[in-house]
Amino acid sequence: MSKTVLETRNLTKRYKTQLALSHVDLCLKQGRIYGLIGKNGAGKTTLMRMIAGLGFPTEGSIELFGRSIQEDLAKTGKRMGALIESAGLVGGMSAKENMHLQCLMKGIPNYELEDELLDLVGLADTGRKKVKNFSLGMRQRLGIATTLIGDPDFLMLDEPINGLDPSGVIEIRNLLKKLSGYDSKTILISSHNLPELYQVATDYIIIHNGEIREILSHEELDERCKAYITLESTDVNQLTTVLESQLHTDQFKVMPDNSVRLFDLLDERDRLGRVLHENGVIVTKLAVFETSLEDYFMNVIGGKEYA
Ligand code: ADP
């Protein structure tokens, strides 16, 4: 069982009349990359700001490695790195100069560390090139490098893949996998785009109107978005017997309404129909269902549009 890194209980934040977070209970485990997914205004930044100690919760508690963030920000703050809203990069400076500035600001001046971190995020060879001339992906990677000063165990990155092109997303994915895999860092990364987040996260936290709607692993998400054939018949026992004995598949589930979900033979529907018919199964429905990531997300938050 992996170690609990961060735990929030009943975390609530109200801005005057606006309830931005409502009774949030989270338990994040070491070495995982958690994707915090929600539409704009869902409460992602507010949650990260509360965890980073950048604002006070109206109610509830936050513990990092068993220590209260509210009571001991000096110690807990050292174990986390956060990139929220702006990385504070100076466009007129090089990557190295920016790292040096951030190291000084954090009270950790260390030339070797600056080079090491730039190397880690793949920016060691950018020389005197100014950050204002970097691609968005390079800037995001530099921002992530600044959060790694002090070697935190827990990283929070607010929308680091927002607006990146596919190769930029891959760059960030490789970097985050490196950090979580070799270094066992735990990462919380937010996005309003599930297909993008899908490229990097191991677990998903779906937030809507300040409430956590669902927490699920990458495997569970895959399972729920898996394409299947739905079959209905006048005799479900006969149907499942033929699936097993004649079509040699056990990749199906009998649903409470007696329909059968078949996760196999999706490309062999003609043969499926024919074999069932030849074996006397009366099929009253045969249809393919596929849930996209967007559909799944919209279903969980109970809306129609995808933003
Ligand atoms: P997200 O990061 O998911 O886009 P936010 O956490 O920024 O969402 O915002 C959640 C809700 O809280 C929104 O309705 C937003 O308008 C509101 N909100 C955020 N910050 C403030 C603030 N400082 N004052 C008042 N309302 C705020």
DSSP string, the chain: -PPEEEEEEEEEEEETTEEEEEEEEEEEETT-EEEEE--TTSSHHHHHHHHTTSS--SEEEEEETTEETTT-HHHHHHTEEEE-S-----TTSBHHHHHHHHHHHTT---HHHHHHHHHHTT-TT-TT-BGGGS-HHHHHHHHHHHHTTT--SEEEESSTTTT--HHHHHHHHHHHHHHHHTT--EEEEEES-HHHHHTT-SEEEEEETTEEEEEEEHHHHHHHT--EEEEEES-HHHHHHHHHHTS----EEE-TTS-EEE-S-TT-HHHHHHHHHHTT--EEEEEEE---HHHHHHHHHT-S---
Answer yes or no: pTM beyond 0.95: no
pLDDT given at position 305: 47
Ligand 1 pocket, residue 15 CB under 6 Å? yes
Of the residues 13, 14, 15, which should be mutated to test ligand 1's pocket, given the most ligand atoms within 8 Å of the CB?
15
pLDDT given at position 303: 64
Q: What is the pLDDT of residues 49-70, one digit of tens each?
A: 999 998 899 999 999 999 998 8
pLDDT given at position 262: 95
Ligand 1 pocket, residue 20 CB under 6 Å? yes
Of the residues 46, 48, 157, 205, which should be mutated to test ligand 1's pocket, given the most ligand atoms within 8 Å of the CB?
46
Tell the residue nearest (CA) to atom 24 of ligand 1: 15
pLDDT given at position 126: 92
Of the residues 14, 18, 56, which should be mutated to test ligand 1's pocket, given the most ligand atoms within 8 Å of the CB?
18
Tell the residue nearest (CA) to atom 27 of ligand 1: 15
Ligand 1 pocket, residue 43 CB under 6 Å? yes
Ligand 1 pocket, residue 85 CB under 6 Å? no
User: Per residue of the chain (307 residues), what is the pLDDT tens digit?
Assistant: 689 999 999 999 999 889 999 999 999 999 999 999 999 999 999 999 999 998 899 999 999 999 998 888 888 888 899 998 777 899 999 999 999 998 888 888 777 888 888 988 889 899 999 999 998 888 888 998 999 888 899 999 998 887 777 887 888 888 888 888 877 899 999 998 888 889 889 999 999 999 999 999 999 999 888 899 999 999 999 999 999 999 999 999 999 999 999 999 999 999 999 999 999 999 999 999 988 888 889 889 886 544 4
Contact 161, 196 (CB under 8 A): yes
Ligand 1 pocket, residue 272 CB under 6 Å? no
The ligand 1 atom nearest the CA atom of 192: 3
Measured distance CA(307)–CA(291) in Å, rounded: 17
pLDDT given at position 169: 82
Measured distance CA(65)–CA(130) in Å, rounded: 38
pLDDT given at position 98: 93
Amino acid in the structure at residue 23: H
